[in-house]
Amino acid sequence: MITKDTIDKLLSTYDKSKISIATYCSHSALNIFHGAKEEKFKTLGICQPKEEPFYEAFQKARPDSYIRVEEPKNMLFQENQRFLTRNNAIVVPHGSFVEYVGARNLEEEFLVPMQGNRKVLAWESDREKQKQWLKEAGIKTPKEFENPDDVDRLCIVKFHGAKGGQDFFFVRSNDEFYKEMKRRKKNPEKTKPTIQEYVLGSRFYPHMHFSPLSEKGLRINDGWLEILGYDQRMESNIDELHRIGLSRQELRELSIAESFTVVGNRPIIPREKLQAKYFAIGKQIVEASQELFPPGILGPFCPETICTKDLDIYTFEISARIVAGTSMWSPNGAPEGYYIWGEPMPMGKRIAREIKMGIETGRLEDIIY
């Protein structure tokens, strides 16, 4: 694990008047670059050559310059890391960046200052650690069944690392579980799927940000929690299956499998009494992170939740960095961000604002690792 000390030393060599903000050209990069430009930073895109023309087409959000990589993992090459540090770059990690390069590689080999707490990568990417974090936070989570024989309600069966919820399926009993596993030629011992209670309700993805600097939002210990907006993911084909009105048996006969591939995001605003509940969930997640991996979560994160008809909120996962759904509020911002800042505050701009505040207060090392 690259130590905090090593990154702090590297950061101390940076020219603070020439900091650039860098990220991998995918996921929420336009949102990040646009926000960085608004806050007057230079921007650097790590990009596969085939993607470059499409980023160039967005003249007001494209990066000022590029590091070209054939594969995302090549950003680990020494010459690419050196290019980033020579340009005083702070890298903003996003979901695709972490997935393509690998949390482990970023922890062990990526000697470039990153926005946030590098320690969070392990807590986000390891299923057991996520569970421990959620448990420590003491927030409601869907019930999990270690033993398929205990399944007594509608459950969703998830496979670890399944991209976009591929191969997830529903079961109501142990019998259905074993039958379905057999049909899919999957060995329960080898694949060790998570069998989770299916929570019926509405999904909310709150865009949270924790800062030790901002003095805006909700005070928590030595920092501040903001909620800048919410979105709901559009998942194909599950969101539209009801339109054809077929039973699961009929779908199976037609070889149609349910899938949860995220294809977009929609704006969503919770009823006002839920805002307090979401702040409470955010607070518990922040406090647990400070216990488990001090100084805890820093910058953007998102508890993935479902709100039931009784207004109980269940969190089934935490994304511990910027989520792609924040892009839907760029550049004009969501109401919540405006109510906190008195100006549009989309997440890309918020990240850049935090880096700017870190530079101005001489506390960059409190928000970078």
Instruction: Answer yes or no whether residue 126 interacts with ligand AMP by CB under 6 A.
Output: no
Bridge partners (DSSP) listed for residue 67: 46
Pick one of 100, 159, 178, 198: the residue that binds ligand AMP (CB under 6 A).
198
- State in angstroms the smallest separation of the CB of 302 from ligand AMP: 11
Query: CB of 87: closest distance to ligand AMP in angstroms?
Result: 35
Q: In what helix (H) or strand (E) does residue 296 lie, and over which residues does it extend? A: none
Q: Is 165 in the site for ligand AMP (CB under 6 A)?
A: yes
Q: How far is the CB of 328 from ligand AMP (least distance, A)?
A: 16
Instruction: Please identify which residue in 306, 318, 328, 351 interacts with ligand AMP, judged by CB under 6 A.
Output: 306
Classify 2 in phi/psi space as left (phi over 0), alpha (psi -120 to 50) or beta: beta
The verdict on 307 binding ligand AMP (CB under 6 A) reads no
Q: Is 354 in the site for ligand AMP (CB under 6 A)?
A: no
- Residues 148 and 176 sit within 8 Å (Cβ to Cβ): no
Q: Is there a cis peptide before residue 335, judged by omega within 30 degrees of 0?
A: no
Residue type, 204: F
Site for ligand AMP in 138-157 (CB under 6 A): 142, 156
Identify the residue among 118, 119, 158, 321 touching ligand AMP (CB under 6 A).
158
Amino acid at 32: I
Cβ atoms within 10 Å, residue 189: 6
CB contact at 8 A, 75 and 24: yes
226 CB neighbour count, 10 Å cutoff: 24
* Dihedrals phi, psi of 124, to nearest 5 degrees: -80, -40
The site that binds ligand AMP (CB under 6 A) totals a number of residues, namely: 16
The least distance separating ligand AMP from the CB of residue 168, rounded to whole angstroms, comes to 6
Assess 316 for contact with ligand AMP (CB under 6 A): yes
- Choose which of 8, 52, 64, 304 interacts with ligand AMP (CB under 6 A): 304
Strands 155-158, 194-197: pairing is antiparallel
State the residues that interact with ligand AMP by CB under 6 A.
142, 156, 158, 165, 196-199, 203, 233, 235, 260, 304, 306, 316-317
